[in-house]
């Protein structure tokens, strides 16, 4: 028997329409200083003391004791020339207004390998987004995906051999972000399972920034982003969001993108609004909306001009806490990790690719869904992600991962001897004339041996 838990929509949000006093940690400020400045002196100037630091970023967490508002302290710090950023230590919460409805399904389940249930592999996102076809070309090997979330139940069999050693827990401040129950732990475990399904050979770097109560802070999230980037993450998934800008997190994300070449994905949010939520609203973050099995916008999904792409996010099947426990869940929180997994797959093919190349490729190769969603044209990004379209190598007719004489031979076998077709077929259209024929084999031979033009992704 396999336990199956079905959970209603739930995702990380900040339920704020304005930045109220209960939206940040009382008497705490996050600030950044210029190189060479003394952070303790800065804190002391406003009656505070440093209680946390992100050393190489010159970012510090301060607790102050003066009987004044946090806005006053921020203004006092902003007035100092050595301070480059100051803000409250904002709180990010999981929305607990929705009621979870778990149940145990006692029906037997067919297994693929004796551990993982068939439903994990045989679910509509795999077919709709062509995940399985893409995995015949690459499995994400060599890529590292950091998951900034509520931790992970590392006892789950799906994660065996997949966890990166740079895991860290910014809640308990240790190297063991392993959690074994509760909705926050379920959220992080479920997200990780989605990425493991999408990019099975990628390593998962678990970065816990949300506690069992469902709360995280600006400082911990920013710290988590810096940690992931500096420990080699290729991709960072952020299945949470805020209704206002956060400079500390923005600076961390900017550093990860521009200095470390990290691709970042974020959930668009679940309030069904035309809304740009942070950090998905940042230009260097892929903001991901959710669609259902028919590529219709999920009724809960936010939408808007900042959305980069859409991905499956309704009735997704993945991992939950408790050991060998699985279930269904819906939310943009679970659409974003599909995009993160695809980014890992692309990085495994183009290992030196800049993050903008990866983001552009994923967007450019998505399947158009505007005709299915006429009310949301231009608001669901470039379309629903297509794994196969994004990872195939133009000219790689035999799927070897490179371009060589074997590809020309494969084309000749296909044209004249009824040999196997390329996957996708466009991979064999080396000259982009819209047909697979002898001219494509000649094109590849010219490229390989005579310095001819390089095969390119065709724009039909």
Query: Residue 2: is it exposed, middle or buried by C-beta count within 10 angstroms (0-12/13-18/19+)?
Result: buried
**Which is nearest to 396 in space by CA: 406, 386, 387?**
406
Q: What is the DSSP code (8-state) at residue 337?
A: H
Reduce the DSSP state of residue 363 to 3 states and report it. helix
Cβ 238 vs Cβ 267: under 8 Å: yes
**Which is nearest to 193 in space by CA: 337, 297, 371, 54?**
337
Which positions ≥6 away from 58 have C-beta within 8 Å?
A: 32, 33, 34, 35, 37, 39, 84
Catalytic annotation present for 187 = yes
Query: Residue 235: is it exposed, middle or buried by C-beta count within 10 angstroms (0-12/13-18/19+)?
Result: buried
Which positions ≥6 away from 189 have C-beta within 8 Å?
A: 151, 152, 153, 156, 179, 319, 320, 321
Distance CA 353, CA 347 (A): 7
Instruction: Tell me the residue ranges of DSSP E strands in 95-227.
Output: 144-149, 168-169, 203-208, 215-217
Q: Exactly one of 11, 239, 301, 333 is catalytic; name it.
A: 333
**Is residue 321 left, alpha or beta, with left meaning phi > 0 and alpha meaning psi from -120 to 50?**
beta
Q: Exactly one of 164, 169, 186, 187 is catalytic; name it.
A: 187
Distance CA 191, CA 195 (A): 7
Catalytic annotation present for 149 = yes
Catalytic annotation present for 223 = no
Q: Exactly one of 133, 149, 382, 440 is catalytic; name it.
A: 149
Q: Give φ, ψ of 424 to 5 degrees.
A: -75, 170
Cβ-count burial 36-63 (b if 16+ within 10 Å, e if not): eeebeebbeebebeeebebeebbbbbbb
Query: Which stretches of 275-386 are DSSP H helices?
Result: 332-349, 355-364
In the numeric block, the tokens 């440093």 are attached to: 50
Catalytic residues: 149, 187, 333
């Amino acid at each position: 028997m396999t336990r199956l838990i079905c959970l209603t929509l739930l995702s990380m949000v900040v339920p704020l329409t304005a930045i109220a006093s209960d939206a940040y940690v009382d008497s705490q400020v996050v600030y950044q200083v210029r190189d060479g400045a003394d952070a303790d002196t800065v804190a002391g100037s406003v009656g505070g003391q440093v209680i946390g630091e992100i050393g190489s970023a010159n970012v510090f967490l301060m607790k102050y004791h003066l009987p004044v508002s946090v806005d006053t302290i921020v203004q006092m710090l902003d007035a100092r020339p050595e301070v480059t950023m100051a803000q409250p230590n904002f709180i990010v919460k999981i929305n607990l207004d929705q009621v979870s409805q778990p149940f145990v399904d006692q029906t037997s389940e067919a297994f693929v390998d004796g551990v993982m249930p068939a439903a994990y592999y045989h679910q509509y996102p795999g077919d709709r987004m062509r995940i399985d076809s893409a995995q015949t070309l690459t499995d994400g090997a060599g890529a590292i995906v950091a998951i900034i979330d509520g931790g992970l139940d590392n006892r789950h069999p799906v994660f065996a051999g997949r966890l990166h050693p740079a895991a860290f827990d910014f809640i308990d401040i240790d190297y063991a972000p392993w959690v074994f129950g509760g909705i926050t732990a379920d959220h992080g475990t479920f997200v990780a399972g989605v990425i493991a399904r999408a990019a099975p050979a990628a390593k998962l770097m678990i970065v816990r920034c949300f506690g069992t109560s469902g709360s995280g802070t600006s400082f911990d999230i920013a710290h988590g982003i810096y940690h992931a980037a500096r420990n080699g993450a290729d991709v960072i998934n952020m299945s949470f969001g805020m209704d206002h800008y956060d400079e500390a997190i923005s600076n961390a994300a900017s550093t990860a993108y521009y200095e470390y070449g990290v691709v970042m994905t974020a959930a668009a949010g679940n309030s069904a609004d035309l809304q740009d939520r942070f950090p998905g609203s940042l230009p260097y973050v892929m903001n991901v909306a959710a669609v259902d099995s028919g590529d219709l916008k999920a009724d809960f999904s936010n939408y808007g001009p900042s959305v980069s792409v859409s991905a499956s996010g309704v009735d997704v099947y993945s991992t939950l806490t408790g050991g060998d426990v699985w279930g269904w869940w819906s939310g943009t929180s679970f659409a974003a990790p599909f995009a993160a997994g695809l980014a890992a797959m692309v990085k495994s093919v183009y290992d030196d690719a800049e993050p903008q190349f990866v983001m552009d490729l994923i967007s450019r190769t998505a399947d158009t869904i505007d005709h299915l969603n006429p009310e949301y044209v231009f608001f669901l990004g470039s379309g629903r992600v297509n794994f196969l379209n994004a990872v195939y190598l133009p000219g790689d007719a035999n799927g070897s991962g490179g371009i060589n004489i074997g590809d020309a031979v494969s084309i000749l076998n296909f044209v004249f001897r009824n040999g196997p077709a390329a996957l996708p077929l466009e991979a064999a259209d080396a000259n982009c004339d819209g047909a697979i024929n002898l001219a494509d084999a000649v094109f590849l031979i010219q490229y390989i041996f005579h310095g001819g033009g390089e095969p390119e992704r065709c724009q039909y």
